Amino acid sequence: MIRQPFISLFTALLLLNPFTVIPAAEANLQTVVLDVPGMTCNFCPVTVRKALQKVPGVVEARADFESKTATVTFDPAKTTVQDLTTAVKNAGYEAVPRKTGTSDEGRGAREKP
């Protein structure tokens, strides 16, 4: 008799788990690499990253001083690349989306003169 309520309770807890991953939601995420040439010191990436993290729909934002890039994973239903570049601009930096199809996007393979 104890077994049936335990299974029901377990099932209810499993359904209410806030860490349950729904794969369909992740399938819609996009990642963009932004060139941010104005990062001139080690603190600049922190400012860029924080600005990007404040944009609704951003799931992850990373900024790298050496490659002068920011890599952003976001939900395109909630934000756009234009919103991301505007957030970086409002933080005091220029941001230009990289063209897709480069194999070394995060490694600074493309440098501007």
| Rounded Cα–Cα distance for residues 21 and 38 (Å) | 37
Q: Residue 37: inside a domain, yes or no?
A: yes
The tens digit of pLDDT for each residue in 19-49 reads: 433 443 556 999 999 999 999 999 999 999 9
Total structural domains within the chain: 1
Prediction pTM value? 0.66
Q: Residue 60: inside a domain, yes or no?
A: yes
Q: Residue 33: inside a domain, yes or no?
A: yes
What CATH number should be reported for the domain holding residue 33?
Answer: 3.30.70.100
The tens digit of pLDDT for each residue in 81-100 reads: 999 999 999 999 999 999 75
48: containing domain: 24-100
